[in-house]
Copies of this chain bind each other. A is one copy, B any other.
């Protein structure tokens, strides 16, 4: 009997719709405008239905945040298979980060609690910024200049502050239309950082 499967498929679809709708509203009107009721209206269900899929609004945002971080992480591991040179990997990944932040600003906003997005869970940060080896970026830095784990961890942290920091400042302070102007400045900063590593 495919009844259970059909139900499961439907559930999955509704869940995806909820997440997509939240992102859509956020992109159009900002995260302050995202409410359970508005999402419910768009997906044509009553508001309490959302609580069948997410414990609360915070967990919904947490899901979007985690998807954002794991999307970038997947891109990073994909790039690792493409480029042997650690320098190239860093630069290409920075490019991917920029593209992601510009194309999906509403996800980036949730990832870092900026511009009205607010998610309590700090779990994603502990994963992203864990200063352990075996992270592709950490490895790349270690390959470019082998040093003590502590020294590399420091550079690892500087990397995230440079890339994510640049993106945050740009997304927060610049009007959307003029953002493209800053991409070359960003990429040049990244290249200088990579050059300065040796």
Residues of A within 8 A of B (CB): 32, 112-116, 118, 122, 125, 128-129, 154, 157-158, 160-162, 164-170, 172-175, 182, 185-186, 188-189, 192, 196
Asked whether, in the complex, the Cβ of B116 is within 8 Å of the Cβ of A114, the reply is no
Asked whether, in the complex, the Cβ of B129 is within 8 Å of the Cβ of A157, the reply is no
Chain B residues with CB below 8 A from A154, complex form: 185, 188
The CA-CA distance from A116 to B158 in the complex, in Å, is: 25
Asked whether, in the complex, the Cβ of B158 is within 8 Å of the Cβ of A164, the reply is no
Contacts A114-B113, A115-B113, A116-B118 given; does A165 touch B173 at CB 8 Å: no
Contacts A158-B185, A158-B189 given; does A169 touch B164 at CB 8 Å: yes
The CA-CA distance from A183 to B100 in the complex, in Å, is: 29
What are 7 residue pairs bridging A and B, where the CB atoms are less than 8 Å apart in the complex?
A: A32-B118, A112-B114, A158-B185, A160-B169, A161-B189, A165-B167, A165-B169
Asked whether, in the complex, the Cβ of A185 is within 8 Å of the Cβ of B172, the reply is no
Smallest beta-carbon distance A87→chain B, Å: 17
Sorted from nearest, which 3 A-B pairs have the closest CB atoms? A165-B165, A125-B173, A161-B166
Asked whether, in the complex, the Cβ of B157 is within 8 Å of the Cβ of A185, the reply is yes
Asked whether, in the complex, the Cβ of B157 is within 8 Å of the Cβ of A161, the reply is no
Chain B residues with CB below 8 A from A129, complex form: 173-174
The CA-CA distance from A118 to B34 in the complex, in Å, is: 14
Asked whether, in the complex, the Cβ of B112 is within 8 Å of the Cβ of A172, the reply is yes
Q: Which of B157, B175, B196 contacts A192 (CB 8 A)?
A: B196
Chain B residues with CB below 8 A from A158, complex form: 185, 189
Chain B residues with CB below 8 A from A161, complex form: 165-166, 169-170, 186, 189
The CA-CA distance from A13 to B62 in the complex, in Å, is: 41
Contacts A160-B169, A168-B169 given; does A116 touch B115 at CB 8 Å: no
